[in-house]
Structure 1
Amino acid sequence: MSGPEESLTPQGIKEAAKKATLIVALTLGISGALRREELSKMKPGDIEFRNDVVVVTIPETKTGIPSYLLSLIH
């Protein structure tokens, strides 16, 4: 077991979750070439896992036409 300086604290868990959320948001934004508004209006339900594919729905786009991102899970 690690020493107390390496154990998880509530604050450490919150910071790790924020970093993970930021990484996911950046990955979605860059890979989907999403605008800031499109990314900020997305909800968890906009991401679906179907067999070996991840389907990301961007419901509110600048053009008003819903858009989709597909990604294969390896």
Structure 2
Amino acid sequence: GPDDAGEAREARRIDYDFTADGQEDTPNRGTPMTGVLVAGVDSKGVPFVVRLNAVKDAVDAEDLDAFVGSITVK
């Protein structure tokens, strides 16, 4: 409705695990990592992606949820 006309159209969360490659200021090669992608389209039709990466088990699930919940897109 009119109250949410300025909100993002749609966003999706994708959780995944991977192994650090040690490149570009990442942890040492072989370090287990966890990642979250939030991707979508804003109210003007522009695609966006927010990527959060952390050493596995360094950030608990509740904190990751809080980070994702704090993302605001217009």
TM exceeds 0.5?
no
Q: TM-score, normalised by structure 2?
A: 0.36
The structure that has the greater radius of gyration is 1
Higher strand share: 2
Q: Relative contact order (alpha carbons < 8 A, sep ≥ 6): 1 or 2 greater?
A: 2
